[in-house]
Amino acid sequence: MTPSERPVVAVIGGGIAGLAAAWELVTGDGSGPDAPEVHVYEAGDRVGGKLRSEEFAGRRVDVAADAFLARRPEATDLCAELGLEGQLVPVGSVGASIWARDRLRMMPGGLNLGVPTRWWPLFRSGILTPKESVRVARDLVAPHLRTGMAFGDRSVGDIVGGRLGRPVVDRLVDPLVGGIHAGGVDDLSAAATFPVLLAASQQPGSLMRRLGQAMRRRGDTPASAAGGPSAPPAFLTLSGTTASLADLTAATLEERGVTVHTGVGVAAIGRARRRGKQARRAGGRWQLMLGGDEPAVTVDAVIVAVPAPEASVLLAAHAPVAAGMLSAIQYASVGVVTLSVPEGSIPGPLRGTGFLVPRTSVLEGRPSLVTGVTYLDRKWPHLARPGDHLIRASVGRFGDARHTDLDDDELVASVLGELAVLLDLHVRPTHTLVTRWDDAFPQYEVGHLIRVGRIDKAMAELGTVAVAGAALRGVGIPACIASGRAAGRRILGALHPAPDPAPDPAAPDLAAS
pLDDT number for residue 70: 93
Burial letters for 30-64: b for 16+ Cβ neighbours within 10 Å, e otherwise? beeeebbbbbbbbbeeebbbbbbbeebbebebbbb
Average of pLDDT values for 101-105?
96
Residue 230, pLDDT above cutoff 90: no
The pLDDT-based confidence of 283 (bands split at 50, 70, 90) is: low
For residues 397 and 418, give the distance between their C-alpha atoms in angstroms, rounded to a whole number: 17
Start-end of H helices in 148-262: 156-164, 166-168, 179-181, 190-193, 195-201, 207-217, 222-226, 244-255
The pLDDT-based confidence of 278 (bands split at 50, 70, 90) is: very low
- Candidates 306, 319, 303; CA nearest to 8 is 303
Question: Domain extents for the chain?
Answer: 3-50+243-329+446-495, 107-226, 331-442
pLDDT number for residue 408: 98
Q: Convert the pLDDT of each residue in 454-474 to its tens digit.
A: 999 999 999 999 999 999 999
The pLDDT-based confidence of 510 (bands split at 50, 70, 90) is: very low
Domain 3-50+243-329+446-495 has CATH 3.50.50.60: yes
Q: For the CA atoms of 103, 197, 393, 442, what is the dihedral angle to 10 degrees?
A: -150
Task: Read off the pTM.
Answer: 0.92
All residues at 6 or more sequence positions from 395 whose CB lies less than 8 Å from its CB, including other chains: 334, 335, 336, 337, 369, 370, 371, 403, 411, 415
Percent share of the chain, pLDDT over 90 = 84
- Candidates 153, 150, 151; CA nearest to 449 is 153
For residues 26 and 257, give the distance between their C-alpha atoms in angstroms, rounded to a whole number: 9
For residues 66 and 68, give the distance between their C-alpha atoms in angstroms, rounded to a whole number: 7
Is the CB of residue 54 less than 8 Å from the CB of residue 220? Answer: no
Is the CB of residue 50 less than 8 Å from the CB of residue 56? Answer: no
Give me the long-range contacts of 249-252 (CB less than 8 A, separation at least 24): 249/16, 249/19, 249/20, 249/23, 249/47, 249/78, 249/82, 250/14, 250/19, 250/40, 250/47, 252/23, 252/82
For residues 181 and 159, give the distance between their C-alpha atoms in angstroms, rounded to a whole number: 18
Q: Convert the pLDDT of each residue in 161-190 to its tens digit.
A: 999 999 999 999 999 999 999 999 999 999
pLDDT number for residue 150: 52
Residue 2, pLDDT above cutoff 80: no
pLDDT number for residue 5: 78
For residue 502, give the DSSP letter.
Answer: P
Residue 224, pLDDT above cutoff 90: no
pLDDT number for residue 406: 98
**Higher-confidence position of 149 and 402:** 402
Residue 505, pLDDT above cutoff 60: no
- Candidates 228, 261, 241; CA nearest to 10 is 261
All residues at 6 or more sequence positions from 204 whose CB lies less than 8 Å from its CB, including other chains: 143, 144, 145, 146
As a CATH number, domain 331-442 is: 3.90.660.20
Overall fold of domain 107-226: protoporphyrinogen ix oxidase, domain 3 (1.10.3110)
Chain-wide mean pLDDT for the chain?
Answer: 91
pLDDT number for residue 234: 87
Q: Convert the pLDDT of each residue in 353-401 to its tens digit.
A: 999 999 999 998 999 999 999 999 999 999 999 999 999 999 999 999 9
Average of pLDDT values for 59-80?
96
Q: Convert the pLDDT of each residue in 260-274 to its tens digit.
A: 999 999 999 999 875
